[in-house]
Amino acid sequence: MKRQLTDLFIFLILEVTSVLVAAGSFALIPSKVVAGGVAGSYFFLFSAFMLYRMLKWPQWWEAWSFYPLVLFLFGCAIPMLYERFTHIGMSFNDIRIWGIPGPEFHHIATSTLGLLFLVTLAETIRVIALKGKKARAS
């Protein structure tokens, strides 16, 4: 449980940092394609890292954050990065991801990331509560 709690705290930091990386990329990098690449790469890397760490947990399939994470990584981060770079000459407004226009899909991805953050936060609180309950029972 200690490793899981440590991982959950790391996950929360990575999730919050993702917003800063995305905002900073678009604020500091003049090319929207490069800024999108930096932000998209971070989204892919942090969510792939989270999945890698989570799969090492005993009974990882019971983790609340596992399912929103898989949805975000495979349903949002990878498809958006793939479509953006296979259509590098096109405006993001003209790109379709899963048949959805780029800006609308970006809103879905942002909402999915928000869901992932809230579920990770709830899971962190749950694990802290369970740890406290086990300590009091001992």
pLDDT digits (tens, 9 = 90+) for 24-47: 999 999 999 999 999 999 999 999
Q: How many CB atoms lie within 10 A of CB 88?
A: 10
The reported pTM is 0.91
Element (H, E) at 96: strand 96-97
- Total domains present in the chain: 1
Q: By the 8 A CB rule, do 36 and 92 touch?
A: yes
How far apart CA 18 and CA 86 sit, in angstroms, is 23
pLDDT one-digit tens code per residue, 95-130: 999 999 999 999 999 999 999 999 999 999 999 998
Q: Could you list the residue range(s) of the whole structural domain that residue 101 is in?
A: 2-137
Per the rule left: phi > 0, alpha: psi between -120 and 50, beta: everything else, 90 is: beta
Contact 131/1 with Cβ under 8 angstroms? yes
